[in-house]
Amino acid sequence: MSPVLYYALPALGSYVMLSVFFLRRPRLLHTPWAPAFLPRLGAHRAGSGERLEHTMEAMENSMAQRSDFLELDCQLTRDGVVVVSHDENLSRQSGVNRDVSSLDFEELPLYKEELEVYFSPGHFAHGTDRRMVSLEDMFRRFPRMPMSVEVKAVNEELINKVAGLVRHFDRSEITIWASEKSSVMRKCRAANPEMPFAFTIGRGLWLVLLYYLGLLPFVHIPERFFICFLPTIINRTYFPFSSPGLNKLAAVVSKWLIMRKSLIHHLEQRGVRGTIPSLPTSMTTREDAGHWPARRREAAALRGRKMGSGVRICLVCVLSPRPVSGSQQRQGVAEHRVWVVSPPDTFNRRD
């Protein structure tokens, strides 16, 4: 044996043993973070699978189903009002080919009478309330309801107005910064550093890389929430490959990379908690009826364990509105609830 291997192999073996040890016992290295709320069940776009997305009616319905927090998206109108809207352009939501930023708040059109649920082609949400609402009205109507506010682009005026509203209503501890882009998240954190924040896509990929390098147990994680897409969600929006074979390959590769049992177990030990469906009624009905499988993975998601490092990892639950097969019914909701990068409403799964 060469001198290099003589020293390298024991060092590598010691590193692997330490990594595995702390991967299973993260609290030995990290002090738990005391959250202001426990996100067991959240409502994507305020519950867009049951009511028109981001309307006051959808939010009231989600609260009636005991949702713990609301997931919202924000845009800025021409007159400087922060409006709760997923899209900048209003074509999909209202049938009007105008940007939110080109209209005053009072000029915003009504939502369509029905909206196709974004990740569920052929499934439509309806509602009697079709008005777009401002974030200020939302905070005033639900002053102590935790919310996740997603900012999609670098718009410093929008970010500063959101931060100011959060401070004005004294809800920094129960409002989460969310964004897919790290550049946007840096601006958000600078505007109000008191607000907890979620992983961006880049940071989420970095988390997975740290896991494979064995460094995850030793790294401080400033993020408090992790919301990610289920790897098997292969649909028109995120994997628009023309070839079904490419879609299937993308599903297999992403599932193999992310859906590792040891990674999931580690995340459970650090406090997996919460679901973010667009169908909160279906979720609470299943929970009340005792339909949750008694597996450790599912139980951990519902009970919401404390995290050693202080991160809250939100497990997104996607409930299909379409009938499922007998084998799927026996498997229960577990097959519809794994790791997701923003919660979809329904994914097209064919098991």
Specify if 73 maps to a domain. yes
Specify if 344 maps to a domain. no
Model confidence pLDDT, tens digit, residues 100-116: 999 999 999 999 988 88
Indicate whether 245 and 317 sit together in one domain.
yes
Specify if 328 maps to a domain. yes
Domain-terminating residue out of 145, 167, 191: 191
Specify if 48 maps to a domain. yes
Q: Taken in order 231, 341, 339, 29, is the CA torsion positive or negative?
A: positive
pLDDT for the residue 350? 32
The whole domain housing 77 covers: 42-191
Indicate whether 207 and 237 sit together in one domain.
yes
Indicate whether 225 and 327 sit together in one domain.
yes
Q: Which of 151-160, 224-233, 333-342 has the highest mean pLDDT?
A: 151-160
pLDDT for the residue 188? 96
**269 Cβ neighbours under 8 A, 6+ residues apart:** 24, 25, 26, 27, 305, 308
What is d(CA 43, CA 37) in angstroms, rounded to the nearest whole number? 15
pLDDT for the residue 1? 62
- Whether the per-residue pLDDT at 12 is higher than 60: the answer is yes
- Whether the per-residue pLDDT at 66 is higher than 60: the answer is yes
pLDDT for the residue 240? 57
Indicate whether 35 and 70 sit together in one domain.
no
Domain-terminating residue out of 173, 191, 209: 191
Indicate whether 79 and 182 sit together in one domain.
yes
Model confidence pLDDT, tens digit, residues 130-140: 899 999 999 99
- Whether the per-residue pLDDT at 310 is higher than 50: the answer is no
* H or E element in which residue 11 lies: helix 3-24
Specify if 6 maps to a domain. no
- Whether the per-residue pLDDT at 301 is higher than 90: the answer is no
Specify if 345 maps to a domain. no
- Whether the per-residue pLDDT at 125 is higher than 80: the answer is yes
Indicate whether 28 and 46 sit together in one domain.
no
Specify if 241 maps to a domain. yes
pLDDT for the residue 268? 63
First vs last C-alpha separation in the chain: 50
Domain-terminating residue out of 191, 222, 247: 191
Indicate whether 163 and 223 sit together in one domain.
no
Confidence label for 186 from pLDDT (cuts 50, 70 and 90): very high
Q: Which neighbouring-strand residues pair with 70?
A: 43, 147
Indicate whether 60 and 105 sit together in one domain.
yes
Angle between helices 261-269 and 3-24 (to 10 degrees): 50
pLDDT for the residue 136? 96
Identify the CA nearest to 319 among candidates 287, 271, 273: 287
Indicate whether 233 and 295 sit together in one domain.
yes
Confidence label for 318 from pLDDT (cuts 50, 70 and 90): very low
Q: Identify the burial level of 261 via C-beta atoms within 10 angstroms of its C-beta, where 0-12 means exposed, 13-18 middle and 19 or more buried.
A: exposed
- Whether the per-residue pLDDT at 320 is higher than 60: the answer is no
Indicate whether 184 and 59 sit together in one domain.
yes
Model confidence pLDDT, tens digit, residues 187-216: 999 999 999 998 888 988 898 899 999 998
Average pLDDT over residues 323-334: 35
- Whether the per-residue pLDDT at 90 is higher than 50: the answer is yes
Average pLDDT over residues 59-87: 89
Q: Which of 28-32, 134-138, 263-267 has the lowest mean pLDDT?
A: 263-267
Average pLDDT over residues 225-244: 60
Indicate whether 173 and 218 sit together in one domain.
no
Confidence label for 21 from pLDDT (cuts 50, 70 and 90): very high
Confidence label for 230 from pLDDT (cuts 50, 70 and 90): low
Q: Which residue would you say has higher pLDDT here, 337 or 256? A: 256
Instruction: Report the domain count for the chain.
Output: 2
Indicate whether 99 and 210 sit together in one domain.
no
**36 Cβ neighbours under 8 A, 6+ residues apart:** 146, 173, 174
Average pLDDT over residues 160-166: 97
Specify if 18 maps to a domain. no
pLDDT for the residue 114? 86
pLDDT for the residue 231? 54
pLDDT for the residue 297? 37
